[in-house]
A and B are shown apart, each in its own frame.
Chain A
Amino acid sequence: AQSVSQHNHHVILSEAASLELGCNYSYGGTVNLFWYVQYPGQHLQLLLKYFSGDPLVKGIKGFEAEFIKSKFSFNLRKPSVQWSDTAEYFCAVKNSGYALNFGKGTSLLVTP
């Protein structure tokens, strides 16, 4: 079955630590890839997206993600997290259909 997997459900980091959140998908063919963030009490916001071209994508707030086609992965990274990065992060994939399919999310807690 086609799916989007986020392997880390809960992550706790100290401020200034580096972050990498995993995302793997099982769709074949051409895909569009997205990372969304949901800060506490706020609606979902787009962090970054990949459609084509350079597989290393820069997003807002210092986030980046790398598309590795051979591994069906689109991991999210940030070199140094801040307390304000505490949020839930969702990976999403769109293939040939109309809709985005989301992973189950990763809850990130950054401690001072």
Chain B
Amino acid sequence: SQTIHQWPATLVQPVGSPLSLECTVEGTSNPNLYWYRQAAGRGLQLLFYSVGIGQISSEVPQNLSASRPQDRQFILSSKKLLLSDSGFYLCARRPPTGELFFGEGSRLTVL
């Protein structure tokens, strides 16, 4: 089966600290991968997507960045977190059938 792992599941970080959220995918090769942020009452906001190693497209300008160092690994980073970066971060893959499959998410609280 194809599985999406997100790590860590929960994270509390101070303002100004760095961030690294990891997403790894099993059971498929060359997946299209996505980072979304879910905030209460605001739905899901697309942050980044990647169609292959080293290929990143950014949808929203902000202090976050993404990288895809390996085929099945997608990393969300920040050098200095802001309070507004708090939220629930979801990694997803999209197979050729078109729908998205989501991981279980990483909840970030910035204090």
Contact = CB atoms under 8 A, between A and B. Distances in A.
Main secondary structure on B side of the interface with A:
strand
Given A98-B32, A99-B34, A99-B59, A43 B102 contact: yes
Interface stretch (A12-20, A77-85, A101-109): A101-109
Nearest to A41: B104
A100 interface: yes
Nearest to A48: B99
B51 A104 contact: no
Nearest to B90: A44
Chain B interface size, as a band, is 20 to 34
A25 to B, nearest CB: 13
A32 interface: yes
Contacts of B41: 9, 104-105
Interface of A: 4, 6, 9, 32, 34, 36, 42-46, 49, 51, 90, 92, 94, 98-105
Interface of B: 32, 34, 36, 41-44, 46, 49, 51, 57, 59, 90, 94, 98-105
